[in-house]
Chains A and B, each alone.
Chain A
Amino acid sequence: MVVDPSEFIRFGDWFWEAIVPFLLTIVTLLVGGLVFWFVQLAVRRHPRVAVDIIGRTLHNSIFRDLPSTSLRRILAMARLAIHEALRSRVLVIFAIFVVLLLFGGWFLDVENDHPARLYLTFVLSSTSYLIIALAMFLSAFSLPNDIKNRTIYTITTKPVRSHEIFMGRVIGFAAVGTILLLMMGTISYMFVWRGLDHTHTIDVADLNYDSDRKEWTGRTSFDRHHFHDVIISNETKRGIAMTSKGHQHEITVVGEGTDVQFEVGPPVGDLLARVPVYGELSFLDRYGNQAESGLNVGKSWGYRTYIEGNTLNTAIWKFGDQATSQITSATFPDEKIPLEMDLRVFRTNRGDIESKIRGEVILMSTDPIAKVQESLPINFEATEFATLRMDIPFSDVKYLDPISAKPISVDVFNDLIVNGELKVGIRCKEHAQFFGMARADLYLRGPDQSFIINFAKSYVGIWMQMLLVTLFGVLFSTFLNGIISLKATLAIIVLGTFAGFITAIQTDDVSTGGGPIEALVRGVTQQGAETELNVSDGARDVIEALDGAYLWTMNVVSQIAPRYPEFNTADKVAYGYDISMDLLLRHLTVTLGYFMVISIIGTLILRSREVAA
């Protein structure tokens, strides 16, 4: 799973880094807005009148309207918005969702290796799309309809303040969306749970019994497009159906002798909320010297870099004291280092794609004068696209004694972990093969969190997206008509979604073909995107100036727009990773920031607007 680098920053650090640009943006927006307002009024009326009106509006808004805020009025406006939403047959959206779920199951890939991922991605995506579409339509048309039908006359002639109208609308639509999300979330969870819940049968005649080891081996029945290999102990009367389709089953032995029967439990491990504790990644090159990064094997996507097999090329993750506290004996009484990795494999020779590539883990100390600098390698085998869980028992961690030249056990807490810090190195052992990794591909695995809570957190992410869309919809509807307001809201979603790409175009990272004007000229004159534009110098200057202005505007707007994809945590839930509180808090803070700024702008626009014009 791809993890955005910003996720490694803790909430507190992020907050203090983000607050200054946030405040600067607000000041810029407010000053820009006031200047625009002043110019507009000064041109239409007179500069003195403009100062008078703006001054009076700001003074009244801050010193009269704000202190007179009434929760009852805001809730009355919110209730009206709910009434209005229900009248617009909002429940149709819910009905569509239920129908999607009912029939969606038919079209899902039944033989997928990870059905849980498929189900979760399906329900979370469909919920997200439907609720965002709903928020867009409800919010963009509401105020314009009030103005068109003139029902706004009977509201603004009551002692309702502009911010109460704005917030009432937002809260009302958000309430409708919240209720729908709760219903959708409950139904989604039931759909996933019902879709994944199954069991198998085991016939004793199909199993082999090893009387020396006193255990049965064999297979379960073939149900839901899969079976499991099983190992069942006759001593403990328990067994396990090994991982298949992303889950296992526990097996219990019932009865004795010829009456022996096996009871297979429900699936385990497909609905997880793993807690990854990330370290910092650094590299040693093939000669063992410090390197800035791993190797580039020619893939254009630079998320992962690679280490070469059978060399000293090493990827090293350094875990700080907060990370290593996850492996204290109190948390892991069975004294294991809970390592999990998701390495990529890049092969330079022909062979079986399914075959495993050998690698080794080396535990290292961060203290250069520590008695044990690094452990002896601990072997593992990696397969492409499979997460490898390595619980390394403390007893397996050994180092080579320099005097006796024999392996000696290491006291992990005293010899290796210094000041709470530990380093974990990965090497590839096979010549001409490579391991690919990013910072998030190896982590210490903390105690799992509740899946249901994680699922709910993902819905909080969708809820925040819905709130942001609603905010922009209501904001645009304060000065645009319904259709235009809908298009503007959609534009903000698109710009927010592709903000990174737009910035890359503007900063020349994606430079082929130029901007829209250059692309148009190239299209009309049939010039390829890779060649130099064949026009006169003057024309080129004009084209570049127009493209530059256009891209700059797009970039500014996309920087202001919320980064919707960051709120989408469906992947984390689908891949079984816990959505950290740091991430959730950050998203909530961003949403709150937008709520405040957009409410202020929307209020001022509404206050300065002639509703009867």
Chain B
Amino acid sequence: MSSTQTAPSPEQKYKSKSDVVIETRNLTKTYKDFWGRSKVHALKALDLDVKKGEIFGLLGPNGSGKSTTIKLLLGLLFPTGGEALVFGSDASDVSKNERIGYLPEESYLYKFLNAEETLDFYGRLFNMSATKRRKRIKELIKMIDLDWAKKRQLKEYSKGMTRRIGLAQALINDPELILLDEPTTGLDPIGTREMKDLILRLRDQGKTVLMCSHLLADVQDVCDRIAILYQGELKELGRVDNLLSVQDVTQIQAKGLSDEAKEEIQEVIQRHSGEMISMENPTSTLEELFLNIVRESEERPGHRHIEEE
């Protein structure tokens, strides 16, 4: 990531550093074959900061390196180069997991346990006392609305229900940072809406959310900032509203103008005392932005210059 920001003072730097929850520097992952020869470059020199209290979206087509990034941050994979820091600690440091919640792409849970047993098991892994576990399990089961099915083994659950219990296990420790891998996969429209509302609520509670998805509407709806990855490289990074604004076009919306005034609107709008409703750049859709980047990347492979405000 290249930045156009001016160099911060030491105090600002300290403050901003303490705000950074996730930091990757030159993070690279190459899968190698048995003989150590490079097979797939899954992630190429990723530089990224995720700040406290924001919802950050990782966007990209299949195989772009989104899940690899999350796995590197969680210590499920080890980087081939560079570093990944979470709360200032190396990703391989297990103690960071005390403050993290993770919802995998598919809810990889033990199907022979029921909802209560599942949450109880994960609660124990956080060394929670029995009283605390019971209270938290009750809250979470109520939150995901599975009270009626809490005694059923997970193998009897629908995909949506499994997803919800997966989310509950990610929140069992009331984490400060939540990593969501394709959070709305398998959910119906209502479930999707509820998930998005929940993500926003988590942000309102001061939590940091890193989510990856290829469902553009979801990302557009909830994310404060996004990074677009393509073939392991960072292609775009910034605030969603900024990225989606069309800078070279101005859109004026007005009402109560006469036909004459409409004809001369560019020069005389104020002179004719028209009421200015808005004057702004029109926005594109995330889908359009995304497809543009993909097309551009295919035409001109390699690093893309990124400017973030």
The residue in chain B whose Cβ has the minimal distance to the Cβ of A80 is B121
Q: Is B65 an interface residue (CB 8 A)?
A: no
Contacts of B169 in A (CB 8 A): 154
Q: For A153, what are the chain B residues with a Cβ–Cβ distance below 8 Å?
A: 74, 76, 102, 104, 108
B121 / chain A contacts, CB cutoff of 8 Å:
76, 79-80
Q: Which of A57, A64, A73, A83 sits near B124, CB closer than 8 Å?
A: A73
Contact between chains at B127 and A70 (CB < 8 Å): yes
Within 8 A of B (CB), among A534-572: none
- Closest B residue to A83 using CB positions: B112
**Chain B hits for A95, CB < 8 A:** none
| Closest B residue to A613 using CB positions | B77
Give the residues in chain A near B194, CB-CB below 8 Å: none
Of A156-164, A189-197, A222-230, the one with at least 4 CB within 8 A of chain B: A156-164
Task: Identify the closest chain B residue to A71 (Cβ).
Answer: B127
Picked from B32, B74, B95, B117, the residue with its CB within 8 Å of the CB of A157 is B74
Q: Which of B31, B90, B95 contacts A56 (CB 8 A)?
A: B90
Among the listed B71, B98, B109, which residue makes an inter-chain contact with A159, where contact means beta carbons less than 8 Å apart? B98
Q: Identify A610's interface contact among B76, B93, B98, B113, CB under 8 A.
A: B76
Most buried by B among A73, A76, A159, A160: A159
Name A's interface SS.
helix
Whether A76 touches B124, Cβ cut-off 8 Å, given contacts A83-B113, A157-B102, is yes
Cα distance A57–B74 in the bound complex, in angstroms: 16
Q: Which residues of B contact A613 (CB under 8 A)?
A: 31, 77
Residues A158 and B122 in contact in the complex (CB < 8 Å), given A44-B32, A65-B94, A68-B95: yes
With a cutoff of 8 Å between Cβ atoms, the chain A residues found around residue B95 in the complex are 64, 68, 159
- Chain A hits for B106, CB < 8 A: 150
User: Which chain B residues border A57 with CB–CB below 8 Å?
Assistant: 92
On whether the beta carbons of A158 and B126 are closer than 8 Å, the reply is: yes
A75 within 8 A of B: yes
**Are B126 and A159 in contact (CB-based, < 8 A)?**
yes
- Checking B94, B110, B125 against A151 with a beta-carbon cut-off of 8 angstroms, the contacting residue is B110
| Residues from chain B with Cβ under 8 Å of A152 in the complex | 108
The docked-state distance in angstroms from the alpha carbon of A259 to that of B125 is 76
Instruction: Report the Cα distance A154→B113, complex, angstroms.
Output: 14
Within the complex, what minimum Cβ distance (angstroms) separates A66 from chain B? 12
Q: Is the CB of A73 within 8 A of B127?
A: yes
In the complex, whether B100 has a CB less than 8 A from a CB of chain A is yes
Contact of B71 among A65, A70, A76, A612 (CB under 8 A): A612
B104 engages A158 (CB within 8 Å): no
Q: Does A84 contact B (CB under 8 A)?
A: yes
Contact A43 B36 (CB under 8 A): yes
Residue of B nearest to A77 (CB): B125
* Neighbour of B76 across the interface among A75, A87, A612, CB < 8 A: A612
A611 at the interface (CB under 8 A from B): yes
Residue of chain A at shortest CB distance from B125? A158
Please determine whether B98 and A154 come into contact, CB atoms closer than 8 angstroms: no
Interface flag for B186 (CB, 8 Å): no
Complex: how many Å from CA A233 to CA B77?
85
Contact call A155/B125, Cβ cutoff below 8 A: yes
Task: Return the contact of A154 from the options B32, B36, B102 (Cβ within 8 A).
Answer: B102
A-B contact pairs, 9 of them (CB 8 A): A57-B92, A60-B93, A72-B124, A84-B112, A150-B108, A151-B110, A154-B108, A157-B74, A610-B76
B-binding residues in A (CB < 8 A): 43-45, 53, 56-57, 60, 64-65, 68, 70, 72-73, 75-76, 79-80, 83-84, 87, 149-161, 610-613
**7 tightest A-B contacts by CB?**
A76-B124, A612-B76, A158-B125, A150-B108, A159-B97, A157-B102, A87-B112
